[in-house]
Amino acid sequence: MTTRRSAESSAAPPLVDLQSLVVAVRRRRRLWCSLALIGLLLGAAAAVLKPAPPSAVTTVLVAHQADQPNDPGTLIRTDAALLHTVGIAGQALQSLGSPEKPEDFLKDYGGLGLTNNLLQITVTAKTDTEAVARAKALAEAFVAAHVQRIQQAADAEAKALLDERDRMQEELAQVNKSIGDASQQSGSKTSANLESLYASRADLTSRITDFGQRAAAARVGTPRLIAGTQIVDTPHALKRSLPKTAATDAAIGLVLGLVLGLSIAAVGAVVADRPVLRREIAANLGASVIAELPHRPAGRWQRKRTRTARTGLTTTLARTVRGSEEAVSLLELGCARNAGAIALDLAGALEAEGPVVVVNGLPGARLTDRRRKAAGPTVVDDGGAEAVPGGPRRLGVGSVAPGTAWTDLRHLGTRTVLVVRAGHGSAAWLHTVARQLADQHIAVIGVVLIDPDPRDRTDGTLWDRPDTAPSGRDEPPARQIGTGRRRMERVPMWTARVPDSDQEAR
């Protein structure tokens, strides 16, 4: 068992503790919930205050000469790009008789390829009627331009084929003339030449016929492509529902705000490096967690469990104070109100055995003012502690927040219980607290964790004494383990844990 724990303690810590990161982000749920709510409201407000302009839509069936079943959509994307040109925009505006510049009209419409041959055109305008008229003019201009390109391509191909056919006919005429001249001569060479001329004439005749057929086919296929390019969906205005649009925009804003909030919370948790888990706080302070209390209990049942846990904690601390010959103090970090309440409860439990004086070293005089108006233990300021006679038991309450005068903490007590709020101090500051208390020879009895994470399953007990443990801690007798490590013989101490409403009390 000791060997396994030693191996775990010697393992290098991960660069980012995922469990600690999740807990830190969950603890900052107010931040990302607020950003999500702001995004929701902004999305809904944008839909109401800035509604979408009137728009119309139409669909055009586009036939291509190079259509292929496995076309990845290159041709329809080319058509969409051609739609968004100054030429087509100018033709549409000209048919409408509009003086608007084509460059400005380009900003008001767009094309989207639905399939390899379907092009959807969307146009926005000031009114629905104007949007429908512009969509119709734009679709007709695109169809006309597409048909014109098909016709020009077919004419150019047919002309090239006919030009080649005419050239070959001229060659055929030259061959026929050569055959006529050679037929008037005699001889073996003349016969061989005639055979070659006859073969050339046959080849030229075949090629002339082929070019003629190809030119006719090029022109025959054009009407099919022209007829296949047409408007298949009559331009019509888009009907928009304000509640539906507001709900959609609100959902988008909610998601964006939530993502932004979670990102900020995660980055802040990594940068701030504020321990929230029991094991991290115990490791950084070099002391075990002996109790947990919520910061501000909500609900009757939770307040009842909190009172029960505070009663148990008071009993445990009273037992520890009675068995100590040295003065004991409570030092807070981020929870002055909780530390003061625990100190008053502890002083009230100790009053049955004799007078108790609470030395208030907390910032401000709230604890002193509170006890001036109600019966209870005597509370004096840190400056008046010297005037307290030696008879009453002294219980100090102070702070280890940044700006603390470390040399004054020993006057509050040479043994202390740290009351720390989870996620309040950084890891570097917790190390500073442990080092300063060790330098002042103040022994740390344990840590009372305030506002713990209800889903924290880590253990806040230190089993193996770290090599850098504060020198001011109590050092009970240690025995040798088989591996040579020292194991601390801790005095058993009751741990009070107050879980959240979704966790059973242990």
Number of Cβ within 10 Å of residue 273's Cβ equals: 13
Identify the band that residue 301 occupies on the pLDDT scale cut at 50, 70 and 90: low
The neighbour count for residue 134, using CB atoms within 10 Å, is: 26
Q: Cβ contacts of residue 469 below 8 Å, gap of 6+? A: 286
On whether the CB atoms of residues 281 and 422 are closer than 8 A, the answer is yes
pLDDT band, very low/low/confident/very high, at 423 (cuts 50, 70, 90) = confident
Q: Given this model, what pLDDT does residue 384 score?
A: 57
Among 197, 209, 214, CA closest to 168: 209
Give per-residue pLDDT as tens, 74-86.
889 999 999 999 9
Residue 46, pLDDT > 80, answer: yes
pLDDT at 490: 39
H or E element at residue 176: helix 128-183
Q: Which residue has the tokens 């089993």?
A: 463
Token representation of residue 180: 């006529």
Distance between CA 139 and CA 125 in Å, rounded?
Answer: 15
Burial of 368 (0-12, 13-18, 19+ CB in 10 A): middle
Q: Which positions ≥6 away from 470 have C-beta within 8 Å?
A: 286, 434, 435, 437, 438, 444
Percent of the chain clearing pLDDT 90 (strictly above): 26
Mean pLDDT across 436-446: 91
pLDDT of residue 34: 94
- The answer, as to whether pTM is greater than 0.75, is no
What average pLDDT does this structure show over 406-434?
Answer: 89
Q: What is the DSSP letter of 243?
A: H
Q: Which of 248-257, 376-385, 396-405 is predicted least confidently?
A: 376-385
**Structure confidence at residue 463 (pLDDT):** 66
Q: Looking at the predicted structure, is the pLDDT value of residue 111 above 80?
A: yes
**Half-sphere exposure of residue 59, counting CA atoms within 13 Å on the CB side?**
9
Q: Is 295 exposed, middle or buried (0-12, 13-18, 19+ CB in 10 A)?
A: middle
| Identity of the amino acid at 100 | E
Please say whether the dihedral angle defined by the alpha carbons of residues 237, 238, 243 and 246, taken in this order, is positive or negative: negative
Dig out the tokens for 357 from the structure.
Answer: 């004086």
pLDDT at 27: 84
Distance from first CA to last CA of the chain, Å, rounded?
25
pLDDT of residue 58 exceeding 90: yes
With beta carbons less than 8 A apart as the criterion, state whether 44 and 257 touch: no
Lowest mean pLDDT among 79-83, 131-135, 423-427: 423-427
The confidence band for 137, taking pLDDT boundaries of 50, 70 and 90, is very high
- As a whole number of angstroms, the distance between CA 278 and CA 168 comes to 96
Is residue 35 within 8 A of residue 260, CB to CB? The reply is: yes
What is the average pLDDT across 30-40?
93
pLDDT confidence of residue 88: 93
pLDDT reported for residue 262: 92
User: Which domains can be identified in the chain, with CATH numbers?
Assistant: 25-50+243-269 (no CATH), 55-239 (no CATH), 275-488 (3.40.50)
Query: What are the Cα distances from residue 439, in Å, to 252, 329, 436, 463?
Result: 55, 17, 5, 23
Crossing angle for the helix pair 188-228 and 128-183, nearest 10 degrees?
A: 170
For residues 147 and 226, the answer to whether their CB atoms sit within 8 Å is yes
Collapsing DSSP states into helix, strand and coil, what is residue 310?
A: helix
Q: Name every residue whose Cβ is closer than 8 Å to that of residue 261 and which is 6 or more positions away in sequence.
A: 31, 32, 33, 34, 35, 36
Rounded to whole angstroms, the Cα distance separating 138 from 149 reads: 16
pLDDT at position 326 over 50: yes
pLDDT (0 to 100) of residue 101: 92
**Average model confidence (pLDDT) for the chain?**
79
| pLDDT 10s digits, 459-501 | 777 765 444 334 334 444 333 333 333 333 333 344 444 444 4
Highest averaged pLDDT of the listed ranges 177-191, 434-448, 477-491: 434-448
Interval 210-233 mean pLDDT: 79
Span 248-256, average pLDDT: 93
Residue type, 263: S
Q: Confidence class of residue 370 from pLDDT cuts 50, 70 and 90? A: low
Max mean pLDDT range (95-99, 214-218, 319-323, 375-379): 95-99
| Higher per-residue confidence, 167 vs 475 | 167
Residue 479 has what pLDDT?
Answer: 35
Q: Is the pLDDT of residue 100 over 70?
A: yes
As given in the structure block, the two tokens for residue 166 are 């005419």
**Number of other CB atoms surrounding residue 16 within 10 Å:** 10
Say yes or no to pLDDT of 362 above 90.
no
* pLDDT, position 387: 54
The predicted pLDDT at position 433 comes to 92
Confidence class for position 134, pLDDT limits 50, 70, 90: very high
Instruction: Give residue 494's pLDDT.
Output: 40
Higher pLDDT, 299 or 35: 35
**Which two three-digit tokens encode residue 411?**
């006057």
Per-residue model confidence (pLDDT) at position 436 = 92
The closest of 233, 303, 282, 201 to 448, measured between CA atoms, is 282
pLDDT at 213: 79
Q: Could you give the angle at which helices 300-322 and 336-350 cross, rounded to 10 degrees?
A: 60
